[in-house]
């Protein structure tokens, strides 16, 4: 079971190129100045499935370069199995996978299940948004503590 708070068919501001963007519901980080506080509630948004999201993205493949997982926090135990399956299928369509998370890569990779999901992600933007480190010059990031990590080259 997955819950999403939003879906963009195609966006050019959530990673390189044109990308479908999935906003997952629920976030434990509660960063000051967050742009998506409506996603914090773990019961917000609507229930969906990996199959439904796959079909929604697949419908855009003639005009997108990839998919971005955002939120909310995509790295949740209740989502991880579905997201491993979904990202593997989307990569099979030739799409790149970007993902935003409020956790650091080092913390995520310690967990075997999250580690498996990381294996399907091409670019991870990690770390919470920190208002005191706001930097509007950064590409695809809000604050300078956040890193754009190319996990696959």
Applying CB under 6 A, the residues found at the interface with ligand SF4 are 27, 29-31, 34, 36, 39, 71-73, 102, 128-129
- Which of 40/54 has CB closer to ligand SF4? 40
Least distance (Å) between residue 127 CB and ligand SF4: 8
- Which of 54/98 has CB closer to ligand SF4? 98
Residue 72 to residues 39, 47, 57, 91: CA-CA distances in angstroms? 5, 14, 19, 22
- Which of 73/122 has CB closer to ligand SF4? 73
CB count within 10 Å of CB 151 equals: 15
Least distance (Å) between residue 33 CB and ligand SF4: 8
The rounded distance, in Å, linking the Cα atoms of 109 and 117 is: 9
- Which of 29/116 has CB closer to ligand SF4? 29
Least distance (Å) between residue 153 CB and ligand SF4: 26
Q: Is 2 exposed, middle or buried (0-12, 13-18, 19+ CB in 10 A)?
A: buried
* DSSP result, 11-56: ESSSSSSSEEEEEES--S---TT-S-GGG-STT-SEEE-HHHHHHH
Least distance (Å) between residue 71 CB and ligand SF4: 5
- Which of 14/39 has CB closer to ligand SF4? 39
Least distance (Å) between residue 143 CB and ligand SF4: 9
């Amino acid at each position: 079971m997955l819950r999403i708070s939003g879906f963009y068919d195609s966006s050019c501001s959530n990673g390189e190129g044109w990308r479908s963007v999935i906003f997952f519901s629920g976030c434990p980080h509660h960063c000051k100045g967050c742009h998506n506080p409506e996603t914090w509630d773990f019961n917000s948004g609507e229930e969906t499935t990996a199959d439904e999201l796959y079909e929604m993205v697949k419908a855009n493949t003639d005009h997108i370069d990839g998919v971005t997982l955002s939120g909310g926090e995509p790295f949740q135990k209740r989502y991880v199995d579905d997201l491993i399956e979904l990202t593997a299928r989307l990569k099979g369509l030739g799409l790149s996978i970007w993902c935003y998370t409020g956790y650091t890569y080092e913390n995520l990779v310690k967990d075997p299940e999250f580690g498996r999901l990381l294996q399907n992600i091409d670019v991870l933007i990690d770390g919470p948004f920190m208002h005191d480190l706001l930097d509007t010059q950064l590409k695809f990031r809000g604050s300078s503590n956040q890193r754009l990590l190319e996990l696959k080259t």
